[in-house]
Structures are given as C-alpha cells and as structure tokens.
Amino acid sequence: MNPFAEHLAADRRLVILKLLEQAPDYRGNAYLLQSALEAFGHSVGMDRLQTDLNWLMEQDLVFLEAVGGVSIAKLTQRGDDVACGRTTVPGVKRPAPGAV
C-alpha cells in the first residue's frame, strides 16, 4: 500500500471508531457508518467498509455481529481507548489533542 493510501486507511479507521464512540449505545450498522463516513470525506463502498470493520475486529477495537444480513459494529473498551487517544494501534490514526 502506498503511503497516501495507508494514511487514508488509518484516518478512515479512526473516524469509524469516533463515530461509534459518539453513538448512544456505542453501536452502528454498516449502512449508517457508510453514510457518516461520507460526511467526513471518506466515500467508500460497502466492501471496503466491511474490510475495515473486520480489520478493527481483528485488533479487538470493535465487536461485529450480523443481524438480518447487516453488520452491526460495537465499540470495545480498547476501541474507545484508541478513539480517545489513550492507546495507539498501528494502522489507526491517533486523534489530535482536543479533537471531538
């Protein structure tokens, strides 16, 4: 992967974690996440999003379940720590200080 693509992927993964961190129950379905990512400048297909969600699950940052054929992502404690900058994970951009 080229450096710019790596930067995009790391930022996209952080945005996913931040979106889940801000959700009332720390959960979001893939369709809602895809729409919200677009608002943050990440226009991705469902296959790319599913790949990112699977990668985040492998890193123990989210838990995934399928309900009616739709992926539901739930933020883990470790994922919350990464979203808030308390923990770093290679492949996920670190949030800027004071970022919401």
User: Residues 6-49: pLDDT tens digits?
Assistant: 999 999 999 999 999 999 899 999 999 999 999 999 999 999 99
Element (H, E) at 75: strand 70-75
pTM over 0.85: yes
Which two three-digit tokens encode residue 42? 């990440």
Residue type, 72: I
Token duo for residue 53: 């969600």
Q: What three-state secondary structure class fits 29?
A: strand
- Number of structural domains (the chain) is 1
Residue 42 lies in a domain: yes
Domain that holds residue 42: 3-83
Q: Looking at the domain assignment, is residue 88 inside a domain?
A: no
> CATH code at 20?
1.10.10.10
Nearest-Å Rg of the Cα atoms of the chain is: 12
Residues 6+ apart with CB under 8 A from 78: 59, 60, 61, 87
Q: Is residue 98 part of a domain?
A: no
Per DSSP, what are the bridge partners of residue 66?
Answer: 71
pLDDT tens-digit profile of 48-61? 999 999 999 999 99
> Does the residue 90 lie in any domain?
no
